[in-house]
Each structure stands twice: as structure tokens, then as C-alpha cells.
Amino acid sequence: MDQGVRRWTTRGIATILIVGAIAFIALGAGGIVAWEYSNSDQFCATTCHSVHPEEIRSHLTSSHANVKCVECHIGRISTLHMMALKPEHAKELWGMIVGYERPLTSTTLRPSRQNCEGCHWPQVEHHDSIAVIKRYATDADSTETTTRLTLHTAMGAVREKKARGIHWHIENDVQFIATDPQRRAIPWVQVKTADGKTTTYVDATAKITPEELKKYTPRRMECFDCHNQVGHPLQNPVNLVDEAIALGRIDRSLPSTKARAVTLIEQASKLAGMPDQLAPQIDKLIAESAPKDLPADMKDKEAKFEKEMKRILLDSSFSRPELSWKSFPNHTGHNDFPGCFRCHDGKHLDEKGEAIRLQCTLCHDLPQVRREGGKGSVASTVMAGLAPPSSHDAPNFMRDHRTRFDDSCAMCHGKQLEFGRDGGNFCANPACHGRKYPGVSLSAKP
């Protein structure tokens, strides 16, 4: 071969190899960039499926703000495993293109042992924690009520099935059937304990037949079946107002502060749109609610109230008129939604007619309530080392304790045992009596 031809051939091959290498590197770099972008919150929440803009806002202020969408919805897994799972989410992108009904709950969360427990390591010992909750009335003084709770999470070696308290539910084999996507209605529960005993509970008030139950597949209870709003909480705005007052961001020395805030929340709930669209309307509502002839020394407090209420109302707003915070149930606790009482409601009975235990002290101590200018809870006077009687552990104790108390109760709880809701004696706890809990029935029969 001619030397010149050989030289040009060599140069051509070298050029092809170099260009190919550059193209390979460029494609590889582009692929990495594209892969990283496809795992970003921006892609998940706006490009792949712009489900609810409210969830995007709330995620930024949640306790998991630094946890990416894919870490919960796909899991902290290897890249190859993630690549294998990604196609399962393609339906979300297709729905974004052709249009689909925006879901109110996620169907893509990985089992908690594959994501939650990557940070919340279960082998450690979990201690009790204290919660102090302040609520304010709608009277002229926005009277304060303080509730103190000692929350039982779990104690002991968790994986040895010795857990007690809230985390008992995930350390034992708890299966349940929910008949709706948000798992609000749970008509069937089955518990298998470490000794191999299996107990099945059925909601005695549910209008569902055994044949209909067989159409559903039981699921094992996961962390997020209760902690379902840790990623993007959509809270009751009334509670946000209470929090703002407790932290001093709203001054309750203003006339009827809480009542005015509640009225503004009710008025703003009729509005819908994006925050920049709603801001002028909310400004108008707040301005119209301002007290007339406000003293000069209250002007700064009023300005602070207006600023904080605007933030709360905008954060609690929704882009679509049919949605509100009530559209997204919070299954932790049992105030605005049944939550714990989806199962611990006095209605889920086994074949003996015994209910899933409803005792308050399973998950927390009896709440201690102190009302401003009024009576409060009276703690039990039980002596140290004195164990409660076996009757307190009976499955139907919460239903029966009202009719089965006698003089022996005074040994622990004092001599004055009169049911009430205004405090002053052990049986007049304002946190327990004189109020309704969503989903609870103490008179269900099998």
C-alpha cells in the first residue's frame, strides 16, 4: 500500500476513534446528567407528574425536606435496581402527557424496611417522648389550654419482638384490608404474635360481607400507614394558628385573636388558585377583618398578625376548589381524622366479641390538661410499685370502665370519682370526656 494512502487511512481510523470516544463520553455524560435529573425533585414533582403543587410547597417545610422524592417512592437502592424499577413509574409520565385524574394518595411507596429504616434504624432502643400541645379558644381572650402527653414509642430490643407502645404495630405481623386508596376504612385486621397465635378482627358496623372481603388482598402494616404525611404534611390551618400564637408569631392580646383567625380560615377556604393569584384576595380579607379604632400601641401587633395569617392562609390554599386539607387525611393521632381509631375504635371485634384494645395508655400516658384560669386534669395518685389490676388490660375495658367502677378504684385514683369534663378529679379529664373522637364507638356488638 502506498505510504500516503496508509498515512491517510491511519489518520482516518484515528479520527474515527477519537470522534467515537468523544461521542461516547458526551453521550455518557449526557446520560448521567439525564439520569440525575430524572431522580431530582423538580423532575418528579413537575415534569413526570405535577400532581398537587400544595405537596411540593409542604415538602419544603417538612421534617423530610432534604429527602428526595425517589428515596421514598423508589427507595435507597443500587443504581441498577433503580433502573429496573423506573419503568414501573412510566404510567405517571404517560398520564401527564395524555391527562389523568390526579390521585389523592401514593401507590409507589417502597416497603418501609427498604426506605424508612435506611435512616430510622430499628435496632436502637426507643425511649418515651414528651409532647406539649397548646390550643386556644375562640373567646374574647383566646384562652389557652395546655395538654402534656408522654408518648410511648417502643422499648427494648425491637427485633426480639419485645416492643411496647406505638412501634408494636410494625414489630408484630399485623395484616389489614383497606377498602379505599387512602386507607381510611379498614374493616378487617389480623394479628399474628410471636407465639404463633393468630387473631382476626372484623368491624361489626361495616357493611361488607365475608365474600366481598375475599376480593381484597391483605397488606402488612407499614410505618407510613400511620406516618403518612411525614413527606408533605397538609395540616389543619386552625392548628397552624395555635402554633403561631404559642410561638409568639401572633399576639393573642389583640381582640378575639383566635376567633378572627378561624373566621379568616373559613372565608379563605372558599378561594382556589395558585398563591400569586390568591395573595391580593387574602390581603383584602385580612384588611376587612381588622379591628376598628385599634389603639396605636397595638398597630405593630396587628401588622404581625396580618403577616402571619397571610402566610398560613397561602400555605393552606389549594389550586383546585374541590380540594382542601381535609382531602388528605393524617393517620397519625386521632383528632381531625380517625387515625389510630381506624382499628382501635371499639368496633373491631374477634369471634369472642372482644375488641382491639382501645386503652389510651397503649400509646401514651393519660393526657394532663391545664386550662388557663380553670381546673385541670388530676393525675392518678397510684403509689410507686403498685401495678394496675388485670381489669385494665381487658380488651373491652374502655367500653366497660364507666359502669364497673367501685370503691376499690379510690386506692389509686382518689376518693372523688365523678365523671366530668372540667377537671378537678381523676375521672373528669378534659382530654378524655365531653368530646367526640372520629370513628369511635363503645357500643358495637358482633
pLDDT tens per residue across span 163-208:
467 888 877 899 999 999 999 999 999 999 878 899 999 999 988 8
Cα dist from 283 to 279, 286, 290, 320, whole Å = 6, 5, 11, 20
Residues, the chain: 446
Rg of the chain's alpha carbons, rounded to an integer? 28
Do residues 369 and 429 lie in contact, with contact meaning Cβ atoms separated by under 8 Å? yes
* 246 has pLDDT over 80: yes
| Average pLDDT of the chain to the nearest whole number | 84
Question: Residue 425's pLDDT band (boundaries 50, 70, 90)?
Answer: confident
Question: Residue 157's pLDDT band (boundaries 50, 70, 90)?
Answer: very low
Convert the pLDDT of each residue in 306-316 to its tens digit: 999 999 999 99
Question: Does residue 329 or residue 49 have the better pLDDT?
Answer: 329
Q: Say how far apart CA 35 and CA 113 lie, in whole Å.
A: 25
Q: What is the mean pLDDT of residues 71-83?
A: 81
Which amino acid does the sequence have at 89? H
Burial 93-111 (b: 16+ CB within 10 A, else e): eebeeeeeeeeeeeeebbe
| pLDDT on residue 34 | 79
Q: Which three cell numbers stand for residue 390?
A: 388485670
Share of the chain above pLDDT 70, in %: 92
Most confident range (mean pLDDT) of 46-50, 106-110, 322-326, 364-368 is: 322-326
| pLDDT on residue 156 | 46
| pLDDT on residue 159 | 38
pTM to 2 decimal places:
0.84
Helix (H, G, I), strand (E, B) or coil at 149: strand
Q: Which helix (H) or strand (E) holds 192?
A: strand 188-192
Neighbouring C-alpha atoms within 13 Å toward the C-beta of 289 = 27
Query: If 0-12 CB within 10 Å is exposed, 13-18 middle and 19+ buried, where does residue 442 land?
Result: middle
Do residues 245 and 253 lie in contact, with contact meaning Cβ atoms separated by under 8 Å? no
* 268 has pLDDT over 50: yes
* 330 has pLDDT over 50: yes
Give residues with Cβ within 8 angstroms of 200, minimum separation 6.
188, 189, 190, 350, 351
Q: What is the mean pLDDT of residues 221-230?
A: 90
Q: What angle do CA 419, 422, 428 make, to 5 degrees?
A: 30
Q: What is the mean pLDDT of residues 253-278?
A: 94
Strand order in the sheet with 198-203: 219-220, 173-177, 188-192, 198-203, 348-349
